[in-house]
Structure 1
Amino acid sequence: MIDYNYVLRNHILTHNQIGNASDKSNTQRCDVCGTFLSSAYALKAHLQLHSDNSKPYTCTLCDRRYSSVHSLRMHEQLHTGEKPFKCEICGKDFSLRATYKTHMFLHSGERPHKCVLCGKRFKLSSSLKMHIRTHTGEKPHNCDTCGKGFSTLGNLRRHQRIHTGEKPYKCTECGREFNQSNSLKAHMHIHTGENLPKYDISVIIYSLS
């Protein structure tokens, strides 16, 4: 009997080789974006991301492309404002069925997406995908300034504020600005007098300096 979880676990672990040019096993390189892949099969699948033929249906309003008419029609609802999917619990409306289903998890508490490596469960498939990177070590988002890699786009954007000096979080009490929301939260305890929660010590020191 085939242990499909074992097969999937081993498949997931192959992703930690993708994008690592120093790994000699990565002999297949995408000529379009330069990504290194572990096999000819993986390269063929990857090239579909660059192929217009794989997404022949184009939105006339924003030029975004889709692989099926159904996907295109669902996307067009974002432009028309149509929201045919209604939550019967709270009354909120949604334009996409997938978004509606994701919303329903908030009411049910269901976490249908399970990591086969550690068993942790998630409400969103995107959350599971990002979590898997903690096992594989994959960091597909690179800083253009210093080259440091990050597992999520959000972490990359927070890091880039170090280079740009951007401080989007402002204290409403004293006007001081911060580059991270956690720094602002820690700083606010100076004004409220509340006990500090267990923030990262570096964040606390930065906010009090």
Structure 2
Amino acid sequence: MGDIKANGNTGLETSTDITNLKTDFETNIKNYVGDNTKVKLNWGTDEDDVGSILGSDHGGAAIKDEDVISGTTAVTEQPLAGKFEIIWPEEDTSNSELTIQVGANAAQTLNIGLRDMRASALGLSGLQITDNKKASDAIGKCDSAILRVSTFRSSLGACQNRLEHTIANLNNTAENLSASESCIRDVDMAKEMMNFSKNNILMQAAQSMLAQANGQPQGILQLLR
């Protein structure tokens, strides 16, 4: 146990005790370097029967895990690095947010998230259709960009509906306030004209009675003459 041997020029195999697996593997793997090395791990654990407990006898268990990666010359290499093409950029979470005060009280605000919808942010810059694969990838990117733009448009539409509702509510409040102010400050023309006519008639009657009262002494003087 604990030895490492080269399997031709295409493979590497290690067999060791489970307690010394990490140390033996890391020590011996450094002594083996070859082209197109395949790292193959075969782990196994065995237990000896030592008797039975309450009539149950447990035999040895085997655990096995194998992983073969071609084109690897050292354990520290990353054979899958650079083999995948990113066709969709990560969403920029650093975009700003617009806050609008929509109410008369504190904290009655509406937050509108702003996202970058430029072609570079949508992953549409540098599209190529020179061959079938690139054209297919371009179609996929366009579909994803359309979906993202539609999602953001729906979010903006919801914010627009919220603002329109707020505007309608404010207009209704202003109309009710104007009507209340009219009830307090404006004049009821019909009622006031009626009061004016009544007061005018009473004044004319008073003037007529005063004229008659002033004429009575003159009549007595004429009788004395």
Bucket of the pairwise TM-score, normalised by the shorter protein:
under 0.3
TM-score by length of structure 2 reads 0.20
Structure showing greater radius of gyration is: 2
TM-score by length of structure 1 reads 0.21
